[in-house]
Amino acid sequence: MAGTWAAVDRRMHLSAQFLSELAMISALLVALISIGSDGNGAGGVVDPVASPTVAFPSIGYATGVHVRAPGPPVAPSQAPIPTARPATILIASINVHRPIEAVGVDRSGRLDLPENLWNAGWYKGGPVPGAPGDAVIEGHAGYPKAPLLFARLGQLHQGDSIVVVLADGSRQRFTVDSLKVWPNGTGPPDMGQPYGPARLTLITCTGPFDDHYKTYADRLAVEATYAGVA
């Protein structure tokens, strides 16, 4: 019986010694981890439970920061083609802010006139401003001593802004490209055509004035390119 208790006592002593050594090892590991993670300890200490490294595809570096690669390219959204009729024309540089009427052509193919002499006339057989093709808007210049809507159209300069407000409230903006004088009965060869990039042509009378017939000898065409929704 004494031998049995001696064996048990020896096993207990070994177990206690093992537990004591295990505790010392654990304490040492905790100390090493603490030293390596406080930013001031030895650089050679490695965390025994290091976090896995996550790699992202890269497009390069900026100020030392790893940048994630962008996703696949997304096709740019196409703006819807405007269909609402033009309602108002705004030309701030010559103080024009007037309604637009829809007009057709007479039997000779000439543009009809707006019912209100102070209004502009949009050729309804052509494109809506902002849609592909050349939208045409006319306006009276008036008489030499009685100016009307487009009396100062010849004062526009390249780069000036023209805004056409459609009936749906959208604002289609154009920038002036050129001004050119054409003899009466003529005009830009592609005026009113429903194809090609969106553009705008403004037409009015200009040149020598015949006081007897109350007419002008020439026509002024202002051509502008589409600059997007204002």
Whole-prediction pTM: 0.67
Q: Are residues 113 and 195 in the same domain?
A: yes
| Per-residue model confidence as pLDDT tens digits over 93-149 | 999 999 999 999 988 888 899 999 999 999 999 999 999 999 999 999 999 999 999
Assess whether 212 and 110 both reside in one domain.
yes
- In the numeric block, which tokens belong to residue 179? 């001004």
Q: Domain for residue 221, yes or no?
A: yes
Residue 113 forms part of a structural domain:
yes
Distance CA 140, CA 102 (A): 15
Q: Are residues 109 and 202 in the same domain?
A: yes
Residue 76 lies in a domain: no
Judge whether 77 lies within some domain. no
- pLDDT tens per residue, range 8-32: 344 444 444 544 444 444 443 333 3
Angle at 209 between CA 207 and CA 210, to 5 degrees: 140
Are residues 138 and 214 located together in one domain of the fold? yes
Contacts 24+ apart (CB under 8 A), 154-157: 154/179, 154/206, 154/220, 155/93, 155/94, 156/91, 156/93, 156/94, 156/222, 157/93
By residue range, what is the domain housing residue 51? 2-36+44-68
Residue with token string 């890269």:
58
pLDDT band at 54 (very low <50, low <70, confident <90, very high): very low
Query: For residues 21 and 16, what is the distance between their CA atoms, to the nearest angstrom?
Result: 9
Same domain, yes or no, for 64 and 100?
Answer: no
Let me know if residue 171 belongs to a domain. yes
CATH of the domain at 97: 2.40.260.10
**210 in the same domain as 125:** yes
